[in-house]
Amino acid sequence: MNITIDVKEMEQYTKVKIVGEIDAYTAPKLRETIFPYAEKKNTKIVIDLSEVSYMDSTGLGVFVGLFKSLNANEGTLQLTGLSERLRRLFDITGLADIMNINSEVEGGV
């Protein structure tokens, strides 16, 4: 019932790996950790979700906020390593059509 967030600033993009559960308890920590990176101009953030075992609307809210912030600063967001379950969450909420999501880890990077 916890979360670890690992952020690495690479040459081409900022790489984030999330391990654990994203819910009402952990979402604020996730937001605090990754939002500062989205405020810089032209940032590309790639988030690996392959080890996220649970996520609900609180997590979707964080990614939508991040996506908007990046968009406003001419950056991009890519979510990778989505499990079937996570993918379904983006599908039924309509977010799959709006955001860049991928089942492969680091696909298209």
Partner 1 sequence: MMEAFDYIEMKIPAKPEFVGVIRLTLSGVASRMGFTYDAIEDLKIATSEAITNAIQHAYSGDEKGEVVVGFALYNKQLEVMVSDNGKSFNFRETKKALGPYKESSIEFLREGGLGLFLIETLMDEVKVHQNEGVTLFMTKYLEGEQVERDAETIST
Does 73 help bind partner 1 (rule: CB under 8 A)? no
Tokens 């039924």 belong to which residue? Answer: 92
CA atoms within 13 A on the CB side of 7: 13
| Site mask for partner 1 (CB under 8 A), range 2-31, x = bound | -------------------x-xxx------
**Strand 76-80 vs strand 44-55: parallel, antiparallel, or unpaired?**
parallel
Stretch that binds partner 1, among 7-15, 39-47, 67-75, 101-109 (CB under 8 A): 67-75
Q: Which one among 18, 38, 60, 82 touches partner 1, defined by CB under 8 A? A: 60
Does 74 help bind partner 1 (rule: CB under 8 A)? no
SS (H, E, C) 7-60: EEECCCCEEEEEEEEECCCCHHHHHHHHHHHHCCCCCEEEEEEEEEEEECHHHH
Closest distance of CB 46 from partner 1, Å: 19
Interaction site with partner 1 (CB under 8 A): 1, 21, 23-25, 54, 56-58, 60-62, 64-65, 67-68, 71-72, 85, 89, 92-95, 97-98
